[in-house]
Structure 1
Amino acid sequence: MCSPQEFNMNTAGTRMVTRSWSRGPGVGPRGSGEEAAPLPRGKSAAEGRKSHHPVKRQRKAQRLKVAYEASGGEKGEGIKVPSWEPQDWQQQLANIRTMRSEKDAPVDQLGAEHCYDPSVPPKVRRYQVLLSLMLSSQTKDQVTAGAMQRLRARGLTVDDILKTDDSTLGTLIYPVGFWRSKVKYIKQTSAILQQKYGGDIPASVAELVALPGVGPKMAHLAMAVAWGTVSGIAVDTHVHRIANRLRWTRKVTKSPEQTRAALEDWLPRDLWHEVNGLLVGFGQQICLPVRPRCQTCLNQTLCPSAQGL
């Protein structure tokens, strides 16, 4: 038989074992998902707790190993690492800068930032920037610039446009693409600007794209040129085409808006404003829609599409 002291010690050990095995999964140390090990008979609860301390410290040390590596090998938290970026894109961009160094493409002399009258008040300049962008859709820069010159010669303010009849306005902007629709959009937008914005243009992309005849590309360019704010990448047919040819999108995109979202996902923000002018001029001179001049392109060996064009 056991002595009373032995019986009490065995009973205490049994109680500890019962409590340990009554725990289900996930109730181990720090929610580790393991069951607590039963205590050997004859050991006290304090001794049992001591045996678990090394395991706790080991698990804690393992969790602290998860960290981001910053440049220079220093550890840091919250460092954003791009999930994807195109191969050789920095060299491709540098080559495009070299090919565009002369700044002699049509967009360089006749783009939206060159179509307004610098002598008029800022509010009128912003309105003229927006109108030039509306006219530029599906239209060559030379044609847009000619239409803007004719409009400015008559006085190009919100009031001037609203006083001009549709027939005269159509004659002034012809032959821009879809000129009949643009007469309607220009009149509707001008009326909204007069009534809601005091003749100025709104200062947000959301309000700009809500205007008749204003798309996302125009809105982002208007924000950059008229307001000096980079709100996003302006993607037209040139940027859309070249981004896909260079594989600057993770997968083939079917619209300029898809291309814009794909580019903004990885391209550094400080390049967003520059990339539009670079690629538009590049598309006007070298990376043409039909029969691109790959033989004169510095990216010929780096362009995934060069062999198939």
Structure 2
Amino acid sequence: MRADIVAPVDTMGCATLADPTASARDQRFQTLVALMLSSQTKDVVTAAAMGRLREEVPGVCEEDRVDSGFNLESILALPAPRLNELIAKVGFHNVKTAYILRTAAILRDEHDSDIPATIVGLTSLPGVGPKMAYLCLSAAWGRDEGIGVDVHVHRITNRWGWNRTKGPEETRKALEGWLPRDKWNEINHLLVGFGQTICAPVRPRCGECGLAEKGLCPSAKVVKGKSSVVKKE
């Protein structure tokens, strides 16, 4: 069912927004910034902000090298008002501007200008909580040490009766207690997309849900018919 639906996270999720032509180190930094921008912000807005950063952030020339475009060095060289302008459409952009600049300085001073490869290191950065850290560790370093639980994952797993939890962090611990580790990476992406397109917080589209049709969702409303969904081509 999910494989037939194109959701915003599939094309504009944070794991897709780093410049594939950039160095591995710069891609990791861009992934972290994308996640920091994404908090309480729709994927399309986050993607647009990342596009502006890639297009507008100038390179940095140093004595022994030239860095082109959007990376840690160029962000550190960017005046705060200009960074704030470039990300102005994301939620809480003033706070995020400060977080990004403080994070870049910490990475330069304490992490050899790269992002940490541990949950402890990532969550020590300004504005980075467990959800963001687990997603970043997976996307940037290919390490699945926990499940990134956002509002979609929390809502849907509670609707399905997989857990009875009050918040995302409690949901994460509950899911990790029984879900096979090799599924940890994909569950966020699958359920976020499902929540964006079908299992919405208000007026879920149960008529388009195969689980509801088969009687597998205990929270499903009466299914009176199906309407179209966006298909992959």
Q: TM-score, normalised by structure 2?
A: 0.87
User: Using the alignment, how far apart are the partners of 1:208 and 1:188 within structure 2?
Assistant: 13
What amino acid sits opposite 2:41 in the alignment?
T
Query: Structure 1 residues 304 and 103, CA, compared in 2 at 3 Å: closer, same or farther?
Result: closer
SS at match of 2:131: helix
* CA positional deviation for 1:308: 8.8
Among the aligned pairs, what percent are the same residue? 54
Q: 1:278 aligns with which of 159, 176, 190?
A: 190
Q: 1:123 aligns with which of 25, 29, 33?
A: 25
User: Using the alignment, how far apart are the partners of 1:133 and 1:102 within structure 2?
Assistant: 26
What amino acid sits opposite 1:292 in the alignment?
P
What amino acid sits opposite 1:136 in the alignment?
S
273-282 vs 296-305, which deviates more? 296-305
User: Using the alignment, how far apart are the partners of 2:158 and 2:88 within structure 1?
Assistant: 32
Superposition misfits of 4+ residues, deviation over 6 angstroms: none
Q: In the alignment, which residue of structure 2 is the partner of 1:225?
A: 139
User: Using the alignment, how far apart are the partners of 1:149 and 1:195 within structure 2?
Assistant: 27
User: Using the alignment, how far apart are the partners of 1:103 and 1:247 within structure 2?
Assistant: 23
Deviations 1:54-75 (A, max 9, x none): xxxxxxxxxxxxxxxxxxxxxx
Query: Structure 1 residues 261 and 170, CA, compared in 2 at 3 Å: closer, same or farther?
Result: same
Q: In the alignment, which residue of structure 1 is the partner of 2:79?
A: 165
Q: In the alignment, which residue of structure 2 is the partner of 1:248?
A: 162
* CA positional deviation for 1:102: 2.8
Q: In the alignment, which residue of structure 2 is the partner of 1:142?
A: 44
Q: In the alignment, which residue of structure 1 is the partner of 2:101?
A: 187
Give the alignment of 1:10-21 within 5 angstroms: none
Give the alignment of 1:264-303 within 5 angstroms: 264-300=176-212, 301-303=215-217
Q: In the alignment, which residue of structure 1 is the partner of 2:227?
A: none
User: Using the alignment, how far apart are the partners of 1:102 and 1:180 within structure 2?
Assistant: 38
User: Using the alignment, how far apart are the partners of 2:222 and 2:129 within structure 1?
Assistant: 32
SS at match of 2:157: helix
SS at match of 1:283: helix
Consecutive unaligned residues in structure 1, runs of 5 or more: 1-98
* CA positional deviation for 1:307: 3.8
User: Using the alignment, how far apart are the partners of 1:205 and 1:191 within structure 2?
Assistant: 19
Q: In the alignment, which residue of structure 2 is the partner of 1:257?
A: 169
User: Using the alignment, how far apart are the partners of 2:20 and 2:207 within structure 1?
Assistant: 40
Deviations 1:213-259 (A, max 9, x none): 1111111111111001111111011101101100111xx21111010
Contact persistence 2:19–2:27 (CA under 8 A): yes
Q: In the alignment, which residue of structure 2 is the partner of 1:93?
A: none
295-304 vs 124-133, which deviates more? 295-304
User: Using the alignment, how far apart are the partners of 2:146 and 2:192 within structure 1?
Assistant: 16
Q: TM-score, normalised by structure 1?
A: 0.66
User: Using the alignment, how far apart are the partners of 1:305 and 1:265 within structure 2?
Assistant: 23
Contact persistence 2:206–2:222 (CA under 8 A): no
* CA positional deviation for 1:104: 1.2
> Cα RMSD over matched residues?
1.3
Deviations 1:240-296 (A, max 9, x none): 1101100111xx211110100011111111111111110000000000111000111
Q: In the alignment, which residue of structure 2 is the partner of 1:174?
A: 88
Consecutive unaligned residues in structure 2, runs of 5 or more: 58-68, 224-233
User: Using the alignment, how far apart are the partners of 1:129 and 1:179 within structure 2?
Assistant: 17
SS at match of 1:199: coil
